[in-house]
Chains A and B, each alone.
Chain A
Amino acid sequence: MIGIYLIGAFSIGIALFLNKNKTVSHVLMGLFLILQGVLTRHSYLHIHSTEWTYFTYDSLAVLLLIVLTIIAIPAFIHSHIYLENKLTPPYPRAVYYSAFVLLLTAISAGYLSNHIAVTWIFTEITTLSASAIIYHHRSKLALEGTWKYVFICAISVTFIFIGILFLSLSMGGTGSDDLSFQNLHTYSSKLNPFWLRLSFLFVFTGYTVKLGLVPMFTAGVDAKDKAPAPAGALLSSVLMNLGFVGIFRFYIVIASTSLHQWANLIIGISAFFSVFVATVYMIKVKNIKRMFAYSGIEHMGLVMLGIAAGGIGYYAAILHIILHAFVKSSLFFQYTQLYRVYQSKSIYSVGNYFKYNTSGALVILFGFISVTAMPPSGLFVSEFLIFQSLFEAHQILLLVALLLLLTMIIWAFGKNILKIVFLPLSEFDESNVPKISPWESSSQFILLTFSVYLGLNPPAEFVQLIKESILLLSN
């Protein structure tokens, strides 16, 4: 199936690139979504099986694949609305759609791959496709964002490669040269700790560019700012999850060696600084899209703190990353409507959104409640469990500092969001405000409700999948 999927998706991508007809491109996108759905269903039915040597349908991959497929459908619908409203000419539209397909394909394959080098290859392909999307507007600013993204990603991807080389050196004493995660886990006790340490440092630093942690987070923020918002939704949800997969699979290997505590320390430092940096920027930020992007950095910091704390934190981290993907993507989808009303990204020229688009304002408000983890948000549950894991790991000081930072984030975020939805603008020309159909907000409501449902009342299969993904970590 993975063979059919990869070949089918790449051919659809090429066809989309060559095709200039609007109807044909919609049919092709529909075909791709069906293919994606079939792969997801197939992976769920054939869980734990391996195809083409390098692709395994393990629990984590299946979970994230389901998330990706669910988000891909509204992402396509909103991309269509976006491109129509902007009256996009055929060529940029063709590039956008084919890059969109290539991005989703590469992310799916990256989730499924069971070999560190294969994950790395697909991570590199996401850079290529994401850069084509970020450059969509072909303006000076878009070029700046794209250049920064490409350059920082190129360096990070090189870092991951250096990490893989060090990892292969650490295999020196084992007599095996197979770099699949399974094999690495089997030989984990025999890996040379010196090289393993270096390797983890480089691989971790490299993947932070996709995950959005300190030190490489900057590129992702610029990218989400300049990319069209429906694509920004993908960059800030499923692509971040790919970064998580890259780090998490390696973490499973290192967690069964003597370097477990050291790795926790590295992850913990990076994660805490990410929350800190996110707080600082959230207080200052006036660009709504970048505000959402910084909020993503905060959440990834929380996720990695859960991983570093261990125990219930592993479960909470996976739950958090899934719920965050739903919530953050719905906020980004909503952003396109906001922009259509005000024609501005700046918080200063936005206000009283309830008056112009009631359903959209409700999404923003519910999205805010969800993303700041206030009940009944599903993220409340996962964040609570992360705090619990930090408490159980006796990191009280860290927990207190973290809670202080989160309070500041809620304050900054709330101040801006409440201004968007309630405060009337003094000088605003209402004559040009377009009428926006409430149906355009329906997908966001579904995603937000879904995150509440999964958080508060998770189905047994869902819990089972998460538990299986962290099975190798239970101590």
Chain B
Amino acid sequence: MIDVLLITFIITLFYMAIANRIFTHINVLAFQGVLLFFVVFLQLNEINTLNLALILLETIVFKSIAVPLFMSYVLKRNKITRETEPYLPNFVSLIIVTAIVVITILVANNVKDPHLDKIFFVVALSSLFTGLYFIATRRKIISHVIGYLIIENGVFVLSLAVGNEMPMLVNLGIMLDIFASVLILGIFLNKIGDVFNDIDVDQLSNLKDY
């Protein structure tokens, strides 16, 4: 069952590569939160109940409700256009994301470790590189933030792989999630929306050496 959920997670990455609207991306992020909720529920069966409740709460409340709601609020308030405006066509994105997933599967095949379920490794690394790819090829700052959130979700999956032995690391991952997201979303996406008219990285190129 965990495998099915994690494979769905990878499929959402493909979907994001070809999705054209920012709202779709935000909805997919919310859906990833729900997927992670079930993965946590099935995977972390050895840790104490209070901690589990906290983690579940974080995935469902923070990842799939608060962050997507806030992002759509920012989107509406700043009247950001709906297109994701990638530098590369969606078809190329799809191919690149596929290549990323295939390569991580090949890498994972070389791992000989009885302590690790390989699928966690594949999902984590592919979302890391997909997120970085999105950040590198999208023009809008909000798309960069979406890329960052994909990375966060991938890291969360990886932390679940060791979650039963070291629950502290999962909690640290949650701390990172909340801390970085609040810092990035709460303060700066808001501020940047106030100062710049349309949020576009082209406007963020005034810091120069001369």
Contacts and interface: CB of A to CB of B under 8 A. Distances in A.
Partners in one complex: yes
Contact of A165 (B132, B144, B159, B188): B159
Interface in A339-394: 346
Contacts of B102: none
Contacts of A145: 207
Nearest to B132: A155
Interface stretch (B21-29, B45-53, B73-81, B169-177): B169-177
A168 B162 contact: yes
A222 B158 CA distance: 32
A146 B183 CA distance: 11
Interface in B186-210: 187-188, 191-192, 195-196, 204, 206-210
B195 A143 contact: yes
A177 B162 CA distance: 11
B173 A128 contact: no
B184 interface: yes
Nearest to A161: B176
Interface string B109-133: 0011111100000001000100010
A73 interface: no
Given A157-B176, A290-B209, A165 B162 contact: yes
What DSSP secondary structure best describes chain B's contact surface? helix
Identify which of A145, A150, A155 gathers the most chain B CB atoms within 10 Å of its CB. Answer: A155
A430 B75 CA distance: 50
Interface residues of A, number: 44
Contacts, number: 111
Contact of B128 (A162, A194, A222): A162
Given A143-B192, A157-B176, A169 B115 contact: yes
A284 B209 CA distance: 7
Interface string A419-449: 0000000000000000000000000000000
A168 B165 CA distance: 9
B183 A172 contact: no
B207 A127 contact: no
Contact of A155 (B124, B151, B188, B207): B151
Interface string A131-168: 10001000011011111101100110110011011001
B116 A169 contact: yes
B31 to A, nearest CB: 21
B184 A281 contact: no
Nearest to A118: B172
Contact of A150 (B116, B135, B184, B208): B184
A291 to B, nearest CB: 8
B206 A144 contact: yes
Contacts of B179: 124, 128
A285 interface: yes
A293 to B, nearest CB: 10
A11 B170 CA distance: 29
B147 to A, nearest CB: 9
A346 B175 CA distance: 41
Contacts of B159: 161, 165
Contacts of B184: 150-151, 154
A286 B210 contact: yes
B42 to A, nearest CB: 19
Contacts of B206: 140-141, 144
A162 B208 CA distance: 32
A195 interface: yes
Contacts of B161: 165, 169
Nearest to A284: B209
B58 interface: no
B207 A128 contact: no
B32 to A, nearest CB: 16
B148 A151 contact: yes
A207 B124 CA distance: 20
A155 B187 CA distance: 17
Interface of A: 117, 120-121, 124, 127-128, 131, 135, 140-141, 143-148, 150-151, 154-155, 157-158, 161-162, 164-165, 168-169, 172-173, 177, 192, 194-195, 222, 225-226, 281, 284-287, 290, 346
> 3 shortest A-B CB distances, which residue pairs?
A286-B210, A172-B115, A285-B209
Given A140-B206, A168-B165, A177-B166, 11 more contacts: A120-B172, A131-B187, A147-B204, A150-B183, A158-B148, A165-B158, A168-B162, A177-B165, A194-B113, A285-B210, A286-B210
30 contacts: A117-B168, A121-B172, A128-B179, A135-B191, A140-B195, A143-B188, A143-B191, A143-B192, A145-B207, A150-B188, A154-B183, A158-B180, A161-B172, A161-B176, A162-B124, A168-B162, A168-B166, A169-B161, A169-B162, A172-B114, A172-B116, A177-B166, A195-B113, A222-B207, A226-B207, A284-B209, A287-B209, A287-B210, A290-B209, A346-B210
Interface of B: 111-116, 124, 128, 132, 135, 141, 144, 148, 151-152, 155, 158-159, 161-162, 165-166, 168-169, 172-173, 175-176, 179-180, 183-184, 187-188, 191-192, 195-196, 204, 206-210
